Chains A and B, each alone.
Chain A
Amino acid sequence: MNGAANVLAQGEAAFPPSVEDFYLPSIVPWGAENSYWFTKITAMVWLAVGILIIFFLASYRKPQLVPTKKQWLAESVYGFVRNNIAVDMIGHAGVRFAPYFTTLFCFIFLTNLFAIVPGLQISPNSHIAFPAFLAVISYVLFIYAGIKHHGAGKFIKNSLIPPAPWYILPLLIPIEFFSTFLVRPFSLAVRLFANMFAGHMLLLVFTLGGFAMINANALLAPVSLLSWVMTIALTFLEFLVIALQAYVFTVLTASYVQGALADEH
């Protein structure tokens, strides 16, 4: 089972696309099936990290009071996350979380964006490993922030015991525990992963579907064309999903931290 690019190059469209299309052969060593240290996916992660570091360092090498265009762009990214997510959700105490949130947002957004960049066209986040460790960091972050702010006992009490009559508590405490400490990292990771996975799968289906139909019967060429037009339309939709999921991941992390810092339940 080869990647979609190879399939297209060979002119034989394997349709329908499968999960295996997400697992591209290794680059180093070349072509190895189950070596994951250096694949297109990990290369893209390094690429994203490199782009972000170079962009921010270059545009913020000599910060000025009256910003240049590049500096303004870098500042507006940070300012957006700082003011519209961190401060809006957490309040003034959110400013100290803003650097992490911005890093998180930029990383997710750029790696997501690779899903529609020609030549890359798959997001690392369609492999659950990346959303998973980001979710674990968010999980640790909000628990750490809560314990640091309240102390362990009060944090756990705040998180688990809602202000309800005592006779409901035996029911509520397990629910709170389940939703706060078990589901959160899982839902964060799966939400991002599933969106990117499904997005890539959709684009594959319509792209390969076009080839499958035109190969099956030349009369189906108009339908193939329609299928490829749909691919373009879905690429725009994908862009919306990319931006939205980066935003949602960051906002949910901020919301968890806010909940951990809040005095009342």
Chain B
Amino acid sequence: MFLLAAEGGEAHNPIVPIWQELVVGGVAFALLCFVLMKFVFPRMEQTFQARVDAIEGGIKRAEAAQAEANQLLEQYRAQLAEARTDAAKIRDDARADAEGIRADVLAKAREESERIIAAGKEQLAAERATIVRELRAEVGTIAVDLASKIVGESLADEARRKGTVERFLSGLESAGAR
């Protein structure tokens, strides 16, 4: 009796499906499934996948850029350190050079001064010797002249005269050396 309800009985039974509605609903839903499952949702999956790829690709690119930047930074740091070492080395070298030059100049100056002093000493000694020699002759003559005048007569005896002068000069030298 329930099955007949759909066919045109007076009372409807809500728990018995109407077969026309089953058919209509089935066809309509099949159409909906066909269109959505064939043309829409697979494309959504593709879009999701493309989006994932895009994001992951972006992350990868960013990582690569980061790595490159890090590498460059390392490189620059290394270069900087190298430059610092170089600068220090150059400074040290310059300092060493300056030290060497100074020492050289000092040594040369010392040498020069020693040379000058030595030359001066030599000259002095030579002059002194000349003077002594000249003085010796002159003092001899003057002394002889003086003695001749004092004694009033010329000392004929050459040997005696020489001996006397020599003695006097020795006395004179020892007096000068004292």
Contacts and interface: CB of A to CB of B under 8 A. Distances in A.
Interface string B152-176: 0000000000000000000000000
Contacts, number: 120
A53 B28 CA distance: 11
Contact of B18 (A64, A65, A78, A129): A129
Contact of B25 (A56, A103, A133): A133
Nearest to B44: A78
Contact of B24 (A37, A107, A134): A37
A53 B35 contact: yes
B15 A75 contact: no
Interface residues of A, number: 47
Contacts of B16: 128
A236 interface: no
A164 interface: no
Best-buried of B16, B22, B28, B48 by chain A (most CB within 10 Å)? B28
Contacts of A100: 33, 37
Nearest to A64: B47
Contacts of A134: 29
Contacts of B29: 45, 49, 107, 133-134, 137
A124 interface: yes
Contact of A20 (B11, B42, B45): B11
B139 to A, nearest CB: 126
B12 A133 contact: no
A45 B24 contact: yes
A36 B20 contact: yes
A247 interface: no
B17 A129 contact: yes
Contact of B21 (A53, A95, A99, A130): A130
A15 interface: no
Contacts of B26: 133
A24 B144 CA distance: 182
A129 B35 contact: no
B39 to A, nearest CB: 7
Interface in B116-140: none
A127 B19 CA distance: 11
Nearest to B16: A128
A148 B80 CA distance: 68
A53 B24 contact: no
A182 to B, nearest CB: 16
Nearest to B8: A34
Interface string A5-45: 00000000000000110110000000001101100011001
21 contacts: A19-B14, A33-B8, A41-B21, A46-B28, A53-B36, A57-B35, A57-B39, A65-B54, A79-B48, A95-B45, A98-B41, A99-B36, A99-B37, A103-B32, A103-B36, A103-B41, A107-B29, A126-B14, A128-B14, A129-B18, A129-B19
Interface of B: 6-8, 11-22, 24-26, 28-29, 31-33, 35-37, 39-48, 50-51, 54
Interface of A: 19-20, 22-23, 33-34, 36-37, 41-42, 45-46, 48-49, 52-53, 56-57, 60, 63-65, 74-75, 78-79, 95, 98-100, 102-103, 106-107, 124, 126-130, 132-134, 137, 190, 193, 197
* CB-CB nearest 9 A-B residue pairs: A129-B21, A99-B41, A36-B20, A129-B17, A34-B8, A99-B37, A56-B40, A42-B24, A63-B47
